Amino acid sequence: MEAEGTGEVRHWAADVNGISLHVAERGPSTGPAVLIHGFPELWLSWRHQMAALAARGFRALAPDLRGYGDSSVPADPAAYSIFHIVGDLVALLDHLRLPKVLVVGHDWGAHVAWHLCLFRPDRVRAAVILGIPYFPRGPRPMTESFAKLGDGFYINQFQEPGRAERAFGRYDVATVLKKFYALDIDELIAPPGVEIIDFLQAPSSPLPWMTDDELGQYAEKFQKTGFTGPLNYYRTLDINWSLMAPWSGAKIMVPAKFILSENDVGLQSLGTEKYVKSGGLESNVPNVEVSIIEGHHFLQQEKPERVNSEMLSFLDKFASEEASA
C-alpha cells in the first residue's frame, strides 16, 4: 500500500464501516483522488483515468463499491442505501487519514459522489462527475416518478427481488455485461412483456473500447459475486428518498465539473438533458462547470483521452491550491 511511483496498480483491502473494501491504487502518496464506479462496473472502469492521474502526480484510489468485485457483498438489501455507500467512502478516508480529497464519479458512482459532496463537503476539495447530474429530493418517491415509464423501464424491473437475477441467468455473465456496455439506444425501456436484458443486444465482435481480456476480468468478478448486490442499489431508492428528507432543498456548494455525453441513454425520459441545459443543475450546484461531449454511457472508457483532458484541466486547479496551502 505504501509503494510509490506511477507504474503498476497496487491492490489492497481495508476493513471500514463494517465491511472489507477492495481498493486499487496508482500514483504517488500525495494529491489523493477517489474514483467511484457505476453499474455494472468495477474499479477497472477507471483504468485510463488512473494512469492519467498518476502521470500528473495524483494518488488515484479506485475502490470496488460494496456488493462489487473483491469488496464485501452484504446479504441484507437494506445495507445498500446511499448512507451506507457514502459511509464506506468516509470511513476509507479516515482509514487513510485523508482529511480532504478530489472525487470522480460515474453512473451510480456519480450519485454517490454527489451525495458525498452533499453530506460531507468538508471532505471534498472538488468533484468531476460523469453522466448523472445531481437531482435534489423530489416531492414523492422515485419509484412513483418512474411508474409512468411502465414495466419495461429497467429500474422498475430491477425493483422486484430476484426478477432481474433470473433474467440475467439466461445468459453467461460476459454476455450480460456486454449487453450493458454496448448500450446505443435512447431509452432503457423494453417493449411490453419483455425483460430489459432480453431486449438489449450484445454485438458478436469485441467492443471498440474494451478488449476481450478486459471483458473477461469483469466477468470473472461478477461470476463470483453475482448481480444481487449491485441491483440492491436500485432497490433502496425509496429508502433513500425517505431518509433524505433533512436535505430537502439543500444545495451542493463543492466546486464541481459535470461531463454529459451527447448520446447517453435516458437523456429525454429522465429529463437529464433539459435539466442540465436549462440551468437546473446550476441552480442546485452553484459552483458547477458543464461540458457536453461526444460519446455514449460508459464515457470514461469509450472516450478516455477527452475525459482525461476535461478531468485534469479541472482538477489541476485544486492540486495547485493544495500545494500552496
> Which pLDDT tens digit goes with each residue over 129-180?
999 999 999 999 999 999 999 999 999 999 999 999 999 999 999 999 999 9
Per-position DSSP letters for 222-255, written without gaps between them: HHHH-SHHHHHHHHTHHHHHHHTGGGTTPPP-S-
Share of the chain above pLDDT 90, in %: 91
Spatial neighbors of 125 by CB under 8 A, at least 6 apart, are 100, 101, 102, 254, 255, 318, 321, 322
3-state DSSP: the chain helix, strand, coil percent, rounded to 5?
45, 15, 40
Q: What is the mean pLDDT of residues 68-77?
A: 97
- Give pLDDT, residue 71: 98
Which one is predicted more confidently, 104 or 185?
A: 104
Catalytic: which of 218, 234, 275, 296? 234
> Which pLDDT tens digit goes with each residue over 4-30?
446 799 999 999 999 999 999 999 999
297 belongs to the catalytic site: yes
Mean pLDDT score across all residues of the chain: 94
- Give pLDDT, residue 325: 44
Kindly state the helix (H) or strand (E) to which residue 130 belongs, with its residue range: strand 124-130
Dihedral sign from CA coordinates of 227, 228, 233, 237: positive
Interatomic CA distance for residues 72 and 61, integer angstroms: 17
Nearest to 120 by CA among 81, 79, 89: 89
Q: Does the pTM of the predicted model rise above 0.75?
A: yes
234 belongs to the catalytic site: yes
Confidence of residue 324 (pLDDT cuts 50, 70, 90): very low
Please, what is the end-to-end C-alpha distance for the chain in angstroms?
26
- Give pLDDT, residue 266: 83
- Give pLDDT, residue 6: 61
Nearest to 83 by CA among 226, 230, 231, 241: 241
> Which pLDDT tens digit goes with each residue over 303-321?
999 999 999 999 999 976 6
Kindly state the helix (H) or strand (E) to which residue 165 belongs, with its residue range: helix 163-168
Give the type of residue at 189.
I
Q: What is the mean pLDDT of residues 24-43?
A: 96
- Give pLDDT, residue 69: 98
Catalytic: which of 64, 70, 107, 264? 107
